[in-house]
Amino acid sequence: METKTLRAHFDGSQILLDEPFELEPNVELIITVLPKSSDEEREDWTRLSLESLARAYSDDEPEYSLDLIKEANPAYEGR
């Protein structure tokens, strides 16, 4: 059997797979316990991401016209 990563959770008494998967008897498993992220930590990462995007794509960014393109990408379908 090839190595496969499966999502699962612990319900307080046993480990349950989040999606059905056929396991052979006595197959070896490695269990990785992930830390529970807090809502505060998630908010911090979200805020950092939004601030970084705002710096990269601010309202005062220059508009680049098509005549500045030196070599067109022939695979670009245009939008």
SS3 annotation, 7-32: CEEECCCCEEECCCCCCCCCCCCCCC
Looking at every residue in the chain, the average pLDDT score rounds to 87
Q: Is 69 part of any domain?
A: no
Taking only the tens place, the pLDDT of each residue in 48-79 is 999 998 888 877 777 888 888 888 888 887 65
Q: Is 1 part of any domain?
A: yes
Domain total for the chain?
1
Q: Is 52 part of any domain?
A: no
Its domain, for residue 14, covers 1-32
Q: Is 46 part of any domain?
A: no
Q: Is 76 part of any domain?
A: no
Between vectors from CA 28 to CA 23 and to CA 30, what angle results, nearest 5°? 105
Q: Is 13 part of any domain?
A: yes
CA distance 27 to 4: 12
Confidence (pLDDT) at 79: 58
DSSP state of 54: H
- Does the pTM surpass 0.95? The reply is no
Q: Is 7 part of any domain?
A: yes
CA distance 76 to 79: 9
